[in-house]
Amino acid sequence: MKVSDAMVIALREFADPACRRCRGRGAKGDDVVAGLCRCVKERVPDDAGAAPDESLPHPWGAITRRAQHIHAAVLLQAVPDDWS
């Protein structure tokens, strides 16, 4: 699994499945950064407990952390049965 695939999975976890703009994908189009849907920003919890030197704006800190967890699980072959 590539890191970009893990990012897409993480975005889908945070996206609203009933969203009309992104249809539950979390981003419109192929560029996930430029096409980030509003439903993701609304559903990602505020990073109040994040490190003070967090350089990523909301909601990217939570999304990248989740993508890193997914990618690490695949690399360690601890793949869960259901990604949501």
Instruction: For the chain, 84 residues long, give each residue's pLDDT as a single digit of tens.
Output: 888 899 999 999 999 999 999 999 999 888 888 899 999 988 988 765 555 556 777 888 889 889 999 999 888 886 666 665
Residue 19 has what DSSP assignment? -
Q: Which of helix, strand or coil describes residue 75?
A: helix
Radius of gyration of the chain (CA): 13
Does this model's pTM top 0.95? My answer is no
Domain ranges of the chain: 3-75
Residues whose CB is less than 8 angstroms from the CB of residue 3 and which lie 6 or more positions away in sequence, other chains included: 67, 71
Q: Which residue has the tokens 């993508």?
A: 67
